[in-house]
Amino acid sequence: MFDIVIIGGGPGGYVAAIRGAQLGGKIALIEKDTVGGTCLNRGCIPTKAMLASADVYNKVKEAADFGISVENYSVSLEKIVERKDAIVKQLTGGVSSLLAYHKVTVFNGNGVIKDNNSVEVTKADGSVELVEAKNIVIATGSEAATIAALGYDGVNVMTSTELLNLKEQPKSLLIIGAGVIGCEFASVFSSLGTQVTLVEALDRVLPMVDEEISKRFTMFLKKKKIGVNTGVMVEKVVKGSDGMVVSLNNGKELVADKVLIGIGRTYNSKGIGLENVGVEVGKRGDILTDTKMKTNVENIYAIGDVNGKMLLAHAASAQGNTVVENILKGKDEDADVTFVPSAVYTFPEISFIGLNEQEAREKYDVKIGKFPFTASGKALCIGEKDGFIKVIAEAGTDKILGVQIMGPHATDLICEAVLAIRKGLSVEDVAKTIHAHPTISESMMEAFEAVHGLAIHSI
């Protein structure tokens, strides 16, 4: 009997499996596809690989600004996808090697819970094997949401999964949903030369980010000639003589070669045997858990996207680590997702942690510090001056309430703020930390100095 059997080999499942093995546990991992989950195979990594190609193309187009002459350059979406696939293959192979090194027993097949100590695995050849364990961890993740009424066919109307494998670049692309998924793909395809249009039901793009950043980012989208339609909904999508005709509820019709449905994700909680043991599921299909990721059934846990708490790969990994440490080391800790950063891989990048300005003003007397990248020497040198850093602090205590970043390397810079907030550092603690010059990271120091009106390089 295993100590833990984990259903799902994504960033929640495989990380939990390796950590469990590191702690001396006998671990089994069940995966019906390729290890790495959505993140590694159909999400985080593939999109970043394509964004990197788009970034190179942007740099080539801007080469003259750097004194470099480049002629006869072109885009091959097929080769971009080939590069993406090679990166994914290398990383999934690496994960498989790590699992083998740590002696995690991997079962390839579909896992269905039979009782709170056993999972039945049906393999590709139809054979069935029963895996018994003292504890079961569900890490089945989520998948791209589709709406049949919008004409989803995986060819002309598609999700991110199909778009990532498109070999021929569309002349035009309409994206339903201007959240993280929609805006990231808008950045990729518009940079490569596709005419992109965004349609968002809410009143602004990236509705989850700070309002000032959302408005500023919308300006950048329009500057890149990306169509932005907010506060409208798609009523239907039909095939016309010139492409896919998208009808909006304001009476407007838009036409595009391809349509991407980027409206979110659905939880993979069906077909895994939850009904066999009575695991409670929410109205949205999310598996209900407490702060320790325990379900209502003894010995059964749920981590990552499938519990609906936070649909981020790094949150899934953190939850997985906490669960296996609680099980194997006798701990009783919460899987705290208070200090989880969010990252949006667009041009420019966006990241944030904690409260945004609107949220903070509702609860606190706040002080704001901002530093624009136009005042950063390094940002000007690399030609990426769009955006700013905003620090939100409590006026009376100097407590850091949140940090919002839009600009070069925003998704890397945010980690300094995460550590500062997690360890309870004050604004002054970060402001007085010496940062190397010239770097993008010293803009963080200046933004924190700006909270007290002490930034050197901005007014």
In the sheet where 195-200 sits, what is the strand order? Answer: 157-158, 258-261, 172-176, 195-200, 227-230
Beta-bridge partners for 366: 394
And the tokens for 434?
Answer: 């010496």
CA distance 129 to 126: 10
Peptide bond between residue 46 and the one before it cis (omega within 30 degrees of 0): no
CA distance 30 to 106: 6
And the tokens for 366?
Answer: 């706040």
Active-site entry in 102, 409, 437, 452: 437
**Is there a contact between 268 and 252 (Cβ–Cβ < 8 Å)?**
no
Coil, helix or strand for 242? coil
Beta-bridge partners for 260: 158, 175
Alpha carbon separation from 123 to 109, 127, 128 (Å, rounded): 4, 5, 6
Beta-bridge partners for 266: 143
Question: Annotated catalytic, 437?
Answer: yes
Alpha carbon separation from 35 to 8, 301, 319 (Å, rounded): 8, 20, 18
Burial class of 48 by CB neighbour count within 10 A (0 to 12, 13 to 18, 19+) = middle
Question: What residues are annotated to the active site?
Answer: 437
